[in-house]
Amino acid sequence: MQNFKPWSPHFNFHEEVLKVIPMWVKFPNLPLNCWGSVSLSRLSSVLRVPLFADECTTQQLRISFARVLIEVDVTKPLPSHIVVVDATGKEFVQPVSYDWKPSFCKKCCIVGHDCAKVKQATTRPAVQKVVKKWVVKKTVPEDKQKGNSAVVDGTVTPIYTINVVQSGNDAGWMTARKPDRVLNQQDVHHSDDEGEESDEESVGEPPVYVIAVLETRVESRNAVKIQNKFGSCWSWSCNSLCNPRGRIWLGWNSLKVTVTVLIIHEQFIHGELADSSGNSIRVFTVVYGLNTVETRKPLWRELTGLAASIGSTPLLLLGDFNDVLSQQDRLNGAGITSYDTQDFEQFLFLTGVAELRVIGNFYSWSNKSIGDRRISSRIWGMESG
């Protein structure tokens, strides 16, 4: 807002200080008998010179407060209320609020800042100076030493053995060392024969020599960096050449087992597993099916032909088929129809594979939603023999 004053021949920029500023002033909950133009003018004159009221006040479109533009002197304190005497002689206190209160510096005589407030805000609290003092360490009397511990102020602490050097330039110096740690029975490693360590694995979880990682969502340029974190003894194969997203990673510990990859498909990796001596253990297929019924049809066709080609050799099928067999295999979500299950059912009928017995949660996949929007599904693992 710009403030204009009549020009005078004796106008002096140095002597003239901006003190009077038009400001919007509100009169909350003003009685209706005071909404006339004369009453508003008299109320506003208490603050200084009224200019005009806004449209809502003039037309009485808003009765919660009256709003008037008034020229006020910012060098003086702005009152928060005024005392009004109505036509009957009754007094009441009328609150006053301002849309904006400008700062005025009495030192600089300038509107817009206040040196007193700036100085108060920038003043930092005094920081107490820390004084360091050297304190002589208390010595432990010999009569309080018992065995391998000493008592200091009621606290038992371990005692260090002291070795005094008697020769050389270091004569008279003392070297302190901690007492040797005594191993518990569980800390001692037992071996089968003297001087030979046992190759048996520790009791607990069985060792993992072969893993399959599905839906990695890792770009090809970053795959090697992540795979190397498993160690140099691990070998890897993936289907990134058939599927740009590389949805299947197959890894194995080459020191313990041997894996021969026979077929790499867009939706599965087929191979043969042998132990470190070369004895065949199992023929396996790691599967990650695509998301629609039509895109999974090549998967069922290829697996059916693969099962027929190996004859009576046991085959382990595992992974995520992205398919279900019955309504019980899915919790919430869209209903399951015969169109959704017919390809899966026909594959089971033609190959004779059976479901593996597993432990854990029945539903091993979910969309991670909450409440009724959460969809859970079952991931199948199968075996033929």
- CATH no. for residue 266? 3.60.10.10
How confident is the model at residue 17, as a pLDDT? 59
**CB-based burial label for 286 (10 Å; 0-12, 13-18, 19+):** buried
- Report whether 40 contacts 112 (CB < 8 A): no
In this structure, what token pair is assigned to residue 84? 């009004």
Q: Which residues pair with 315 in a beta bridge?
A: 283, 384
Residue 73 lies in a domain: yes
Let me know whether 229 and 345 are in one domain: yes
The predicted model scores a pTM of 0.45
Let me know whether 106 and 223 are in one domain: no
294 closest CA partner among 253, 246, 335, 340: 340
Let me know whether 372 and 262 are in one domain: yes
Let me know whether 111 and 218 are in one domain: no
Given 117, 149, 171, the domain boundary residue is 117
Position 131, amino acid: V
User: d(Cα 249, Cα 244) in Å, to the nearest integer?
Assistant: 13
Let me know whether 99 and 214 are in one domain: no
Q: Where are the alpha helices (DSSP H) in 143-292?
A: 220-227
316 closest CA partner among 346, 286, 360, 276: 286
Residue 307 lies in a domain: yes
Q: How many domains is the chain built from?
A: 2
Which residues does 286 contact at the CB level (< 8 Å), separation at least 6?
Answer: 212, 214, 248, 250, 268, 269, 270, 318, 319
How confident is the model at residue 339, as a pLDDT? 85
Given 84, 101, 117, the domain boundary residue is 117
List the chain pLDDT tens, one digit each, 385 residues. 566 667 777 766 655 557 788 889 999 999 888 888 898 999 899 988 999 999 999 888 888 999 999 988 888 888 999 998 887 888 999 999 998 888 777 777 777 667 776 666 555 666 677 777 777 776 656 555 544 444 444 444 444 444 444 444 444 444 444 444 444 444 444 444 444 444 444 445 678 889 988 887 787 778 888 888 888 899 999 888 887 766 888 999 988 899 999 999 988 999 999 987 878 778 899 998 888 889 989 998 998 998 888 877 888 888 888 888 777 777 777 777 888 888 888 888 888 887 776 666 677 777 777 777 777 777 665 555 5
- Report whether 351 contacts 303 (CB < 8 A): yes
Residue 327 lies in a domain: yes
Given 97, 117, 137, the domain boundary residue is 117
Let me know whether 255 and 361 are in one domain: yes
How confident is the model at residue 176, as a pLDDT? 43
Residue 135 lies in a domain: no
How confident is the model at residue 311, as a pLDDT? 79
Let me know whether 112 and 218 are in one domain: no
Residue 97 lies in a domain: yes
Residue 295 lies in a domain: yes
How confident is the model at residue 16, as a pLDDT? 57
Residue 191 lies in a domain: no
Residue 10 lies in a domain: no
How confident is the model at residue 370, as a pLDDT? 77
In this structure, what token pair is assigned to residue 106? 């009495």
Let me know whether 214 and 111 are in one domain: no
The SS3 assignment for 150 reads strand
User: d(Cα 255, Cα 85) in Å, to the nearest integer?
Assistant: 101
Let me know whether 360 and 236 are in one domain: yes
In this structure, what token pair is assigned to residue 384? 């033929």
In this structure, what token pair is assigned to residue 306? 């693969």
Q: Which domain holds residue 373?
A: 210-384
